[in-house]
């Protein structure tokens, strides 16, 4: 064997396959807007949830008018993941919706590239806290109007006006139950985050 001959006997050296880049994204919004459903619809693993039964005391605090069949609520976070392509894997962290669990948000959001703020147009006031949080932290986010029963109560322009978000914040309609619809909404946030970093 001469010094120029490959040690493998002429076969090409195997190309190392890198694992996909892990990227953290937060799913936020008010109580009962569809955060747990969103994570569950898209996750390629069995999602981790921290659901607890709604007690009579909690029912007196949380407005169940528009979600009368809701029997559980997230008390810490939801977690799931989805591989976007061979180079990128999204790790999804859903926040609890009630203000009394707001003390956990800083820990959940730490290191996230962006957020998807889910809103129910029948009760827009319940998502103000999430919108304010992302604006205050300077974290890229998109507003996703969940189409409950396949419809929304207000136009996207009306939602943008009501939330007073800038033109740089995408406002889209999606269905938290549909995997493809959730994927498209997440990609909006991902593209926004990439544009912010100049990638």
State the pTM of this model: 0.77
Q: Is 125 exposed, middle or buried (0-12, 13-18, 19+ CB in 10 A)?
A: exposed
Region label for 149, one of left (φ > 0), alpha (ψ between -120 and 50) or beta (otherwise):
left
Return the residue matching tokens 């800038």: 166
Tokens encoding 163:
């939330």
Q: Which residues of the chain have pLDDT under 50?
A: 1, 4-7, 54-62, 64, 66-68, 70-71, 74-75
Other beta carbons within 10 angstroms of residue 144's beta carbon come to: 29
pLDDT of residue 123: 85
DSSP assignments along 48-61, one per residue: B--EEEPPHHHHHH
Name the 3-class secondary structure at 126.
Answer: helix
pLDDT of residue 105: 76
In 3D space, the residue among 126, 176, 171, 124 whose CA is nearest the CA of residue 146 turns out to be: 176
In 3D space, the residue among 23, 126, 27, 44 whose CA is nearest the CA of residue 78 turns out to be: 27
Name the 3-class secondary structure at 81.
Answer: strand
pLDDT of residue 5: 47
Tokens encoding 82:
């989805």
pLDDT of residue 99: 61
């Amino acid at each position: 064997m001469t010094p120029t001959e490959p040690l493998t006997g002429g076969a090409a050296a195997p190309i190392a396959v890198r694992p996909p880049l892990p990227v953290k994204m937060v799913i936020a919004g008010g109580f009962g807007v569809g955060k747990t459903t969103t994570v569950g619809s898209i996750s390629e693993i069995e999602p981790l949830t921290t659901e607890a039964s709604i007690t009579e005391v909690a029912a007196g605090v949380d407005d169940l008018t528009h979600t009368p069949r809701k029997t559980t609520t997230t008390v810490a976070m939801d977690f799931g993941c989805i591989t976007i392509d061979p180079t990128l894997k999204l790790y999804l962290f859903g926040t609890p919706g009630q203000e009394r669990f707001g003390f956990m948000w800083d820990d959940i959001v730490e290191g996230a590239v962006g957020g998807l703020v889910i809103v129910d147009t029948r009760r827009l006031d319940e998502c103000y806290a999430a919108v304010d949080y992302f604006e205050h932290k300077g974290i890229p986010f998109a507003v996703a109007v969940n189409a409950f029963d396949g419809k929304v109560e207000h136009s996207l322009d009306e939602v943008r006006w009501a939330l007073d978000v800038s033109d740089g914040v995408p406002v889209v309609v999606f269905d938290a139950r549909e995997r493809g619809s959730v994927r498209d909404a997440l990609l909006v946030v991902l593209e926004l985050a990439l544009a912010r970093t100049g990638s």
